[in-house]
Amino acid sequence: MKNWNDTQHLEFLLLGLAENPKLQALLFGLLMSMYLVIVLGNLLIILAVISDSHLHTPMYFFLSNLSFVDICFTSTTIPKMLVNIQTQSKAISYAGCITQIHFFVIFAELDIFLLTVMAYDRYVAICQPLHYMVVMNHQLCVMLVLVSWVGSFLHAILQSLMVLQLSFCTDLEIPHFFCELNQVVHRACSDTFLNDLVIYITAFLLGGGPLTGILYSYCKMVSSIRAISSTQGKYKAFSTCASHLSVVSLFYGTSLGVYLSSAVTQNSHSIATASVMYTVVTPMLNPFIYSLRNKDIKSALRRLCEKH
């Protein structure tokens, strides 16, 4: 097998989700519609939080950051796929692939970190309500978001540098609709043991660690809610974290489902199709989950529409 070191002319082929031209036309329309919903829906959440002083609280500060990250997260994959479908091309340059990996890792990790931070925010609100504004002060909120950005950036730099050390051969077809880290690593013809080790360790620490924190927070919240005597009080306490719990379940459920299934099946096309759930569907549903279940967001959106 030929070893290819001239990365300047190296190209990967993204096989995408469908080969049939008719299906590709349908896929283009569907993905374009979903992308517009993601951008507009999350942008409305951001504008509502910025424009309404009632929403200048830690919970909505984190929510607006999550909405921004979701727009960026989907923008690393969908636009390139739409261009490839429109131009009937599957190619992505080596530099483009590394760049896509880098930004995908940043925003995927940011999603995880922000969901964890939001779980901590809900934990303080429910378990320590009298100290909430003291604990969740503005400085801490900004620091938590800043640490999330720095941590995600450093993780992305690590993974990108690890891929840059690999040599690639003539087998450059990626059975996915974007340069998914694991798929790209397994296209290399050099030894990938260290890359695989880093991927699994970081997945365990940066994926499993936050999930443990989220589960611990919710265990504490459930205990506190159960201790509330009135039914109305229990409902009010639960309603403050119901939207977040829905988003966490959707994101972790779909992403874990994809990566666990990839460990037991060799059907790459099925894995790529399932990946649409956490890369496209979850960011699209987030604005609906937070707006439909939240009176404050609905009121802010109504006032925002009335202004214009």
Angle at 39 between CA 34 and CA 44, to 5 degrees: 125
Q: Name the one residue in this structure whose structure tokens are 């309603």.
A: 239
**187, 205, 198, 204: which is closest to 159 by C-alpha?**
198
Q: What is the pLDDT along the chain (308 residues), one digit of tens a residue?
A: 445 555 667 899 998 887 777 788 899 999 999 999 999 999 999 999 999 888 999 999 999 999 999 999 999 999 999 999 999 889 999 999 999 999 999 999 999 999 999 999 999 999 998 999 999 999 999 999 999 999 999 999 999 999 999 998 877 899 889 999 999 998 999 999 999 999 999 999 999 999 999 999 999 999 998 888 888 878 877 887 888 888 898 888 888 777 776 666 666 777 787 788 889 999 999 888 888 767 888 888 888 777 76
Helices (H), the chain: 21-51, 58-75, 78-87, 94-127, 132-135, 138-164, 181-185, 193-203, 209-226, 231-264, 268-276, 282-292, 295-307
End-to-end CA distance of the chain: 62
Q: In whole angstroms, what is the distance from residue 163 CA to residue 17 CA?
A: 24
Q: In whole angstroms, what is the distance from residue 46 CA to residue 66 CA?
A: 9
**23, 100, 18, 117: which is closest to 62 by C-alpha?**
117
Please enumerate in sequence order all residues whose Cβ is within 8 A of that of 228, keeping only pairs 6 or more positions apart, or say none: 234, 237
Sign of the C-alpha dihedral computed for residues 101, 102, 105 and 110 taken in this order = negative
Please tell me whether residue 110 adopts helix, strand or coil conformation. helix
Residue-level pLDDT at 304: 78
Please say whether the beta carbons of 42 and 70 come within 8 A.
yes
Residue-level pLDDT at 6: 56
Residue-level pLDDT at 169: 82
Residue-level pLDDT at 133: 92
Q: pTM here? A: 0.92
Structure tokens at 32: 């374009």
Q: In whole angstroms, what is the distance from residue 116 CA to residue 212 CA?
A: 9
Q: In whole angstroms, what is the distance from residue 255 CA to residue 258 CA?
A: 5
Structure tokens at 131: 């100290």
Residue-level pLDDT at 1: 44
Structure tokens at 160: 């990108």
